[in-house]
Amino acid sequence: MTIEEKDLSEHTRLVKLQGSLDFESAKVVKPKFVEIADLENIKLLVVDMEDVDFLASEGLASFLLAIMRMEKKDGQVWLVKTQPQVMRVFKLTRVENRFRFFDSLEEVHNNLP
């Protein structure tokens, strides 16, 4: 799993994930999400999921931890370009309503607060 990040605005951080989000890679992703969620100025975490081909339960737990921490400070987590097999995990576990999903980064930019 590789992780790249950059600021889209003063209050928005983009994280691009590449690879499978399984038990091992969640050990890296989860602390990264916590680190970002704990930044006082970041109110929106955008995760580019285009290159995530697998999502295990521990990976899903990373997203749930991120959304819980972001919501505590009235923040949000948006997911962009989520692959169908990964989206299925969000739907099967009935947590997709906790996140906003977008088809492109352009769509994200058009919806930034």
Question: Would you list the domain boundaries of the chain?
Answer: 2-107
Rounded Cα gap, residues 67 and 33, in angstroms: 9
Topology of domain 2-107, per CATH? Transcription Regulator spoIIAA (3.30.750)
**Cα-based angle 11, 1, 58 (whole degrees, multiple of 5):** 80
pLDDT of 75-103, one tens digit each?
999 999 999 999 999 999 999 999 999 99
Check whether 113 has a pLDDT greater than 90.
Answer: no
Which pTM does this prediction carry? 0.95
Q: What amino acid is encoded at 109 in this protein?
A: H
